Structure 1
Amino acid sequence: MADSRQPPGAPGADSETVDFGYERVARPDKQRRVGAVFDSVADNYDLMNDLMSMGIHRAWKRFTISLAAVRPGESILDLASGTGDLAAGFAKKVGADGRVLMSDINHAMLANGRDRMIDRGLVSNVDYCLANAEKLPFADDAFDCVTIAFGLRNVTDKQAALNEMARVTRPGGRTIVLEFSKPALPGLGLIYDRYSFSVLPWLGKNVARDEDSYRYLAESIRMHPDQETLKGMMVEAGFVRCGYHNLTGGIVAVHRGYAA
Structure 2
Amino acid sequence: MKEIDDREWKIYVTKCTTGEWPVPPSFVSDKNNWLCRAIVGRVLYFIKDVEGALRVLSTIVNDVEPNLEDHPDQGMCEAEHFVLSLRDVADIIWKLTQNGDAALQYLDRAFAICRKFPYRFHTEARGDIWYRRLQVLAKSGRLEQAVADAEAMVKSEKQESHTPKPIIPDPLYDAVNPYIFYSLRFLAEEKHKEGKTAEACGLLAEAYEYFPLSEAGRRDVQKAKETEDVDAQYKAWAF
Q: What TM-score results when the alignment is normalised by the length of structure 1? A: 0.27
Structure in which a larger fraction of residues adopt strand? 1
* Greater relative CO, 1 or 2 (CA 8 Å, sep 6+): 1
Q: Which has the larger radius of gyration?
A: 2
Q: What TM-score results when the alignment is normalised by the length of structure 2? A: 0.29
